[in-house]
């Protein structure tokens, strides 16, 4: 046990040692913070420069709807607050009418906007207003699979409107058993007696379906032509040998499937684009499948690889129209497999002419650019065509490092692909307008600039897409403004590819 004298001696010795050392900081790492901290460390709170109360923005947590979309914002590069600050009715209007038909880069951008994970504007009905607009435009573009997936993610049985979009999409994708199961369990989701009858029959409850149809006859709550169609659907044996029913001019997806069920399948070529999805199923012939795939690929609703799979499924059955395209694709692929540059050059010219007839030049470029990139073709015409095909693909920037002869526009196209068209002479007024859009001083329209300053990014992009469409039709001032705005918001790749497509597909 230590004595009192011993403890006093130890204390004095420690005090003497402490007096000979440097004084310690209260928190040592304040003067030399560790290097492995996760981020910036604020050593003290910020000090105000005024005695006024700071502006504080408060948003109730319940007012923020959860982000909704099929593609994460980290993948698309678009923020989840893409639509914040905008009026949902204005967004719905823009989404419904922004034109993208003739430019694949604009198509890709629209699909990105529609599918990106994003939060709806605040408001009681804003979520459903924006969701309905996204679903309707996806269906108008022919993208029934994404339509079905998006509404399923949102909750397809939450409202009658959502269920209606889901039901229509599943009828065209062939997944109607899922929506029919939901309808049988919750009949209030649809007031359409025809949907009730169809779903009861699909689920095997023929007795209940027949009783519902009898009630519809007795109450006269369905049009005569729809009742006649449902009669044949439930009792086909009673109508053997009967004349075909008149084809409706504007069928909905349920009517289309009912005609299919009674063996009187409607052609889809004259119907809205979404109906083409029904022809991708095995119930349609090979020719109908190819034509439907071409139609959907042209608007960006189907990947080019799916189209290529149909083109190469078997040998063409005849000649003319679609069969000439099938034969041209198959000959070109065979030439690529041989590695013979002369054969490749010859078949490339022929297949490109076929792709132009159906507006599938960019889809063709995306399919074959990787195999064309390392080649050099023997004729100037073929080599120039090969180079332009590369410019229409994702390899456009690499292709621009070498510039073939054969056209006065080539130096400008190469400079454009590298994001600096101003360093090359502009061959046309269209090229001059594009070049001005890439200039550092190119102004952004005041109305769009106001949207950007108000953090209304999604609305600003949609407005810019409208400007681009006007510019593509000849309003070159709008074209310059659209390109400048795309670059301002970070859509550099979209600006370059859209401009390249506009130049090349217009014959530059």
Q: How many residues does the chain have?
A: 508
Q: How many whole angstroms separate alpha carbon 80 and alpha carbon 274? A: 28
**Across the strands, what pairs with 68?**
118
Cβ atoms 463, 68 nearer than 8 A = no
**Nearest Cα to Cα of residue 280 among 264, 291, 266, 269:** 291
Confidence of residue 46 (pLDDT cuts 50, 70, 90): very low
3 state DSSP class of 189: helix
Confidence of residue 284 (pLDDT cuts 50, 70, 90): confident
Tell me, letter by letter, the H, E, C secondary structure of 227-275: HHHHHHHHCHHHHCCCCCCCCCCCCCHHHHHHHHHCCCCCCCCCCCHHH
What are the pLDDT digits (tens) for 191-203? 999 999 999 999 9
**Nearest Cα to Cα of residue 127 among 188, 207, 57, 69:** 69
Q: How many whole angstroms separate alpha carbon 324 and alpha carbon 311? A: 11
What are the pLDDT digits (tens) for 358-371? 999 999 999 999 99
3 state DSSP class of 335: helix
Confidence of residue 64 (pLDDT cuts 50, 70, 90): low
Lowest mean pLDDT, pick from 94-98, 180-184, 405-409, 460-464:
405-409
pLDDT score for 21: 40
Q: Which two tokens stand for residue 505?
A: 């597909």
Confidence of residue 130 (pLDDT cuts 50, 70, 90): very high
pLDDT at 27 over 50: no
CA of residue 194 relative to chain centroid, distance: 33
Q: How many whole angstroms separate alpha carbon 364 and alpha carbon 304? A: 7
In whole numbers, what is the pLDDT of the chain averaged over residues? 89
State the DSSP string of 142-172.
T-HHHHHHHHHHH-TTSSHHHHHHHHHHHHH
pLDDT score for 55: 59
Q: How many whole angstroms separate alpha carbon 319 and alpha carbon 325? A: 9
Q: How many whole angstroms separate alpha carbon 240 and alpha carbon 201? A: 20
Those residues whose C-beta lies under 8 Å from the C-beta of residue 74, and which sit 6 or more positions away, are none
What are the pLDDT digits (tens) for 381-416? 999 999 999 999 999 999 999 999 878 999 999 999
Q: How many whole angstroms separate alpha carbon 110 and alpha carbon 504? A: 21
**Across the strands, what pairs with 118?**
68
Q: Please state the pTM of the whole predicted model.
A: 0.86
HSE, side-chain direction, 13 A CA sphere, residue 441: 1
pLDDT at 42 over 70: no
């Amino acid at each position: 046990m230590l004595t009192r004298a011993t403890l006093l001696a130890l204390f004095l010795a420690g005090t003497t040692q402490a007096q000979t050392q440097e004084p310690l900081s209260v928190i040592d790492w304040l003067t030399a913070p560790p290097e492995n901290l996760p981020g910036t460390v604020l050593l003290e709170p910020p000090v105000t420069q005024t005695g006024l109360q700071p502006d504080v923005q408060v948003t109730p947590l319940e007012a923020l709807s959860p982000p909704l979309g099929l593609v994460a914002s980290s993948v698309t590069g678009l923020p989840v607050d893409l639509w914040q600050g905008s009026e949902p009715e204005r967004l719905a209007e823009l989404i419904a009418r922004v034109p993208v038909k003739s430019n694949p880069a604009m198509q890709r951008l629209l699909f990105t906007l529609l599918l990106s994970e994003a939060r709806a504007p605040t408001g009681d009905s804003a979520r459903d207003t924006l969701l309905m607009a996204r679903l309707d435009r996806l269906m108008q573009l022919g993208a029934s699979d994404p339509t079905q997936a998006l509404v399923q993610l949102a909750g397809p049985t939450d409202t009658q409107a959502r269920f209606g979009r889901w039901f229509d999409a599943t009828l065209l994708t062939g997944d109607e058993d899922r929506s029919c199961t939901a309808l049988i369990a919750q009949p209030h989701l649809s007031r359409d007696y025809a949907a009730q009858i169809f779903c009861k029959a699909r689920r095997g409850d023929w007795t209940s379906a027949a009783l519902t149809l009898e009630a519809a006859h007795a109450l006269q709550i369905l049009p005569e032509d729809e009742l006649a169609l449902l009669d044949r659907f439930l009792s086909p044996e009673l109508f053997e040998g009967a004349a075909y029913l008149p084809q409706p001019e504007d069928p909905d997806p349920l009517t289309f499937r009912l005609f299919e069920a009674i063996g009187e399948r409607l052609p889809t070529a004259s119907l809205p684009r979404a109906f083409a999805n029904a022809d991708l199923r095995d119930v349609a012939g090979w020719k109908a499948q190819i034509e439907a795939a071409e139609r959907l690929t042209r608007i960006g609703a189907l990947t080019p690889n799916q189209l290529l799979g149909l083109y190469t499924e078997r040998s063409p059955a005849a000649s003319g129209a679609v069969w000439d395209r099938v034969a041209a694709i198959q000959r070109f692929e065979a030439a690529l497999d041989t590695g013979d540059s002369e054969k490749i050059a010859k078949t490339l010219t022929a297949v490109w002419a076929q792709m132009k007839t159906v507006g599938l030049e960019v889809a063709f470029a995306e399919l074959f650019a990787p195999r064309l990139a390392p080649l050099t073709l023997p004729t100037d015409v073929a080599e120039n065509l090969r180079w332009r095909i590369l410019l229409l693909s994702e390899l456009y920037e690499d292709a621009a490092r070498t510039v073939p002869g054969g056209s006065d526009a080539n130096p400008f196209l190469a400079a454009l692909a590298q994001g600096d068209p101003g360093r090359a002479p502009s061959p046309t007024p269209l090229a001059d307008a594009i070049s001005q859009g890439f200039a550092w001083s190119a102004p952004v329209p005041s109305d769009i600039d106001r949207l950007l300053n108000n953090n209304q990014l999604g609305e600003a992009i949609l407005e810019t897409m409208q400007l681009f469409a006007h510019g593509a039709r000849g309003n070159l001032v709008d074209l310059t403004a659209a390109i400048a705005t795309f670059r301002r918001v970070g859509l550099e790749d979209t600006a370059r590819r859209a401009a390249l497509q506009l130049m090349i597909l217009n014959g530059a």
